[in-house]
Structures are given as C-alpha cells and as structure tokens.
Amino acid sequence: MNEFDLIARYFTREAPNADLGVGDDCALLSVPAGMQLAVSADMLVSGRHFFPDADPYRLGHKALAVNLSDLAAMGAVPRWFTLSLALPQADEAWLAPFSRGLLELAEQHGLSLVGGDTTCGPLTIAIQIAGELPRGSGLLRSAGQAGDDVWVSGELGAAAAAVMHGTGRIRLGDAARLAAFARLDCPTPRVALGQRLRGIAHAALDISDGLAGDLRHICAASGCAAELWLAALPAAACLAELPMALRHEALLSGGDDYELCFTAPPARRAVLQALATELRLPLTRVGCLRAGQGVHVLHDGQDIRWQHGGFDHFAAQ
Ligand code: ADP
Ligand code: MG
C-alpha cells in the first residue's frame, strides 16, 4: 500500500463542512460573517504521550479528544481538523482501528477531516483543529476576576490513578483499574459544556496537566490568586483505593482528565447548577479567585503549600 492508497482508504471521507476537503493542495473553508476561527494543535508522540503498544482504536479517539478539549475550553463549535502522521510502517492492522477511533469521534461532533500529511518515521500523531464561535465570545484565560467562583466539571484523578497503576506505583483492583484506564485512554471532551459556558463563565481551560498547575495559568493571565478547597474536589471513585497522599496528588497534579476548569461570578451559581442537571454532568464549585497571585490549596482552612506543579515536558527530562 503506498502513501496515496493509505490516505484514500483511511483518511478520505466526505467533508460536509468544507468547500474543498482532502485531495488538493489546500482545503478551502468558509467562516460565516460575525464568527471567529478558534484554532489549536496537539501532538502525541509514541513513548512520551502513550505506550508504543497502545490500543490503536483508543489512540485514534484520544488524539482527537485532546484537541476537541481545547476547543471546548474556548467555547468553540468544532468544524474542521487536519491530521499529520509519522508512521514506522503502513500497517493496516493498526491503521484500520486507528482511523475508526478517530473518525467515529469526529462524526459525533460534526467535525470534518480536511487534510494532513503522511510520512514515514517514529509514530507521531499531530492534529490541528479549528472551530468557530461568535466574535469576541471566547472563554479567555485572562478573563477571570477576583470574586469569581472556581468550578470544575466531572470528576478528577482517574487518569492519574491509571498512570500510577501503569508505572507500578499502586495496584488498583480490577474494577477500579478498568474505570481508570477508560478515562486515561478514552477521555470525553466537554464540548457541549464549553459552548454553553459562553456568556456565563469568565475564564476557562481544560485540565490536561493537573488542576493546580493549570489553574495557575488562569491566575497569571487574569492577574489574581486562586484558592482551591481540597475537600471540595470531586474525586473519581477509583481514588478511594489510594493512600491519602497519592489521592491528593491525583486530584491536584494528575494530568489527562480533560475536564473543564472555569470561573464565574457567584450570581451564576443557580444557572450553572441547572446546566449541570441539563447536561447530566456534575459541576462542582471548588474554590474562588481573589486578589494576589498563585494557587493556594486549602485543607481545613490551612494553606497546604502544594508544590507539585503541572506536568512540564522539559522539566521532566
Ligand atoms: P502535498 O504534497 O501537497 O503535501 P500530499 O501528497 O502530502 O500533498 O497529500 C495529498 C492530499 O492528502 C492533501 O490534500 C493532504 O491534505 C491530504 N492528506 C495527506 N495526509 C493526510 C492524512 N494523514 N489525513 C488526511 N489527509 C491527508
Ligand atoms: Mg504533504
């Protein structure tokens, strides 16, 4: 199978959102008047972001899910994406499930694959995604205000528990292990929530590197401090099997949950609770923004001086 057969078979589909999709020098896309493009890219490298023997269906899902999560955190409607792939070989037993995992999730979100690049090399998956939103309505990290509540969606820590299990730091029981790895390998991007937060939330981001570290980005961009209440954090059920210290680590510094963290004025509490019910997705108030700087984790009213930042690829080397 040559490069062009591979692209035709696995990555060429109808692209209803595009004026022109895969097959020419460029895709051609139209953005309606009054809308803004939201563009983001994420790259997954074998051995760094996933184990080389990772299940290809789940990998296809995850590669797109992490990109969708960025659009969600901006409040954008997903529209188009490109896929750049470096593959060690044209292995159909890998390509078929990978493209299924990727394209099934794309279809669920009305997202069109409009181009990409394919080359031989160490397995690397680079996706660029674009969505649209009404001009000026994006949920910027810089829009937080002292006095805002800090909220998170869903539950935290399951993906971190899976990594702890995978690296031998803990041993989860069977049920907890399955639940934890489902979250790590097959995250659900909070796309509907992100769009509904436009006009309600101030600042937002997706939690990819750990809540405490990610929230620091909102604080820095918004020029304020945050308090996080450790006891209020919504813990995934599988964390019950972890000793206290690791539980705190998973909740505060665990990456890969892809929940949304956002800030909103206290006057929006009732609207947000109603939204949680409507979307059947827990929304939990876990802290607040105030004057100052940095993220302060409070436990029984005391600042526990949480030190672990989020994951930093270069610091970790
Ligand atoms: P070029 O030489 O202009 O880079 P290519 O031969 O790399 O074009 O690609 C041919 C067409 O296939 C282009 O429209 C490109 O966007 C698309 N394409 C290449 N690789 C992928 C991929 N992995 N997924 C989707 N589309 C792809
Ligand atoms: Mg090319």
Q: Which pLDDT score, from 0 to 100, does residue 157 have?
A: 97
Distance 116 CA to ligand 2 centre (A): 7
Ligand in closest contact with the CA of 25: 1
No. of helices (H) and no. of strands (E), the chain? 9, 11
**In sequence order, what are the residues at sequence separation of 6 or more whose Cβ sits closer than 8 angstroms to the Cβ of residue 225?**
219, 289, 290, 291, 292, 293, 294, 295, 296
Confidence of residue 308 (pLDDT cuts 50, 70, 90): low
Domains of the chain: 3-134 (3.30.1330.10), 141-303 (3.90.650.10)
Distance 26 CA to ligand 2 centre (A): 10
Confidence of residue 317 (pLDDT cuts 50, 70, 90): very low
3-state SS of 229-243 is: EHHHCCECHHHHHCC
Nearest ligand 1 atom, CA 26: 14
Whole-angstrom Cα distance, residue 164 to residue 249?
10
pTM of the model: 0.94
The whole-number average pLDDT for the span 64-74 is 98
Ligand in closest contact with the CA of 7: 1
Residue 85 Cβ contacting ligand 1 at under 6 Å: yes
**3 state DSSP class of 81:** strand
Whole-angstrom Cα distance, residue 260 to residue 263?
10
Distance 10 CA to ligand 1 centre (A): 12
**Burial, 297: exposed, middle or buried (Cβ in 10 Å; 0-12, 13-18, 19+)?**
buried
Nearest ligand 1 atom, CA 118: 20
Nearest CA to ligand 1 atom 2: 25
Handedness of CA 192, 193, 194, 195 (dihedral sign): positive
Indicate the top mutation candidate among 1, 2, 6, 7 to test ligand 1's pocket, ranked by most ligand atoms within 8 A of CB.
Answer: 7
The per-residue pLDDT for range 241-266, each reduced to its tens digit, is: 999 999 999 999 998 999 999 999 99
